[in-house]
Amino acid sequence: MQQQSNINQIKSISQFVRVLGFPAPLHPLIALVDYNAVSIDMFPKGQKVSLDFYKISFKPTFKGYIKYGQGYYDFEEGGLAFLKPKQIVISPEETESYEGIALYFHPDFIRNYPLGKTINQYGFFSYDVSEALFLSAKEKEIIANLFATIANELDNNIDGFSQDVLVSQIELLLNYSNRFYNRQFITRKAVNHDIITSLDRLLNNYFEEEKSLKNGLPSVKYISTELKLSQRYLSDMLSSLTGLNTQQYIQNTVIEKAKEKLSTTDLSVSEIAYGLGFEHSQSFSKLFKSKTKFSPLEFRQSFN
């Protein structure tokens, strides 16, 4: 385990399994870990850890909250959480954090398969730990069966078909997770409606307080930080509920603000563009026309 800048970097599955106190895995690029059999002293509490491989955590029965670094899991009936390579996490302080099972697989394990190229499309690997997938009883049963299938395959002797079977099971697990996350966005409408309301208020205040004059257009990073959500989770949630990602949602708000200025003030197009945070009025005019099919002056003239 390599330590740099107080971060324990673990480069291989075999190395990680040794840290956990288990024998070497049958396949060096994939392992399934039952955390009920892991010593809770494997990492010092609060230790920063970076893994060079993917992790999918499944807690099938735990109920309650778990603090993990600066975030929280909220598993009422079990759930899934995802970690991509090189993400830095902090070792949990609660022993309950080590309940459940986790699948670890190295990027090299899927590199020569289509999944190696498409895995970045599964946005939940970029979600914060507090944005875990909450599973219904039926969903939990499906995921548990998939983990059992993977466990059985890993217990068999490695042959020429093992990797093909395991990669297909991982891809199936990810596709089900996509489906269940989409369900979660829809069924948690009240929570997500509050997020969208907070987003609208944040954008409105940004322009009302003229932060755009100093900071330019509001960025996706700024918005997600203020809402305390990961950029990918916010974008996926908005896409599911509004059909717009975060950048498009911001742009639509900017256009609505511009329409208001064009129809109710005598400010020039350049002044409006500058006030909204554009460095160049040409960029504003191009965006406005792409969204409305009118130039800013054409839109203004329609009100005269």
**DSSP codes, 151-187:** HHHHHSPP-TTHHHHHHHHHHHHHHHHHHHHHHHHHH
The position carrying tokens 């893994």 is: 51
Residue-wise pLDDT for 157-177, tens only, equals 778 888 999 999 999 999 999
Q: Is the pLDDT of residue 98 over 60?
A: no
Which one is predicted more confidently, 158 or 304?
A: 158
Binned at pLDDT 50, 70 and 90, residue 77 comes out as: low
Q: For residue 29, what pLDDT is reported?
A: 92
Which of the two residues, 211 and 129, has the higher pLDDT score?
Answer: 211
Q: What would the DSSP string read from start to end of 238-283?
A: HHHHHS--HHHHHHHHHHHHHHHHHHH----HHHHHHHHT-S-HHH
At residue 188, the pLDDT reads: 76
Mean pLDDT of the chain: 85
Region 137-163 average pLDDT = 90
The residue among 174 and 73 whose pLDDT is bigger is 174
Say whether pLDDT at 28 is over 80.
Answer: yes
**pLDDT confidence tier of residue 70, bands split at 50, 70 and 90:** very low
- What is the reported pLDDT for 96? 53
**According to the model, what pLDDT value does residue 201 have?**
94
- Interacting residues of 73 by C-beta distance below 8 A, sequence separation 6+: 59, 65, 66, 79, 81, 97, 129, 130, 132
Q: What is the mean pLDDT of residues 63-74?
A: 46
Q: Please, what are the domains in the chain?
A: 2-187 (2.60.120.280), 190-301 (1.10.10.60)
The 10s digit of each residue's pLDDT in 79-89 is 898 999 988 77
pLDDT band at 64 (very low <50, low <70, confident <90, very high): very low
pLDDT at position 159:
80
**Mean of pLDDT values over 226-232:** 93
DSSP state for residue 302 in the 8-state scheme = T
pTM for the model stands at: 0.77
Rg of the chain (C-alpha set): 24
Average pLDDT over residues 192-211: 92
**Region 87-105: what's the mean pLDDT?**
72
pLDDT average, residue stretch 137-164:
90
Q: Is the dihedral of CA 110, 114, 117, 123 positive or negative?
A: negative
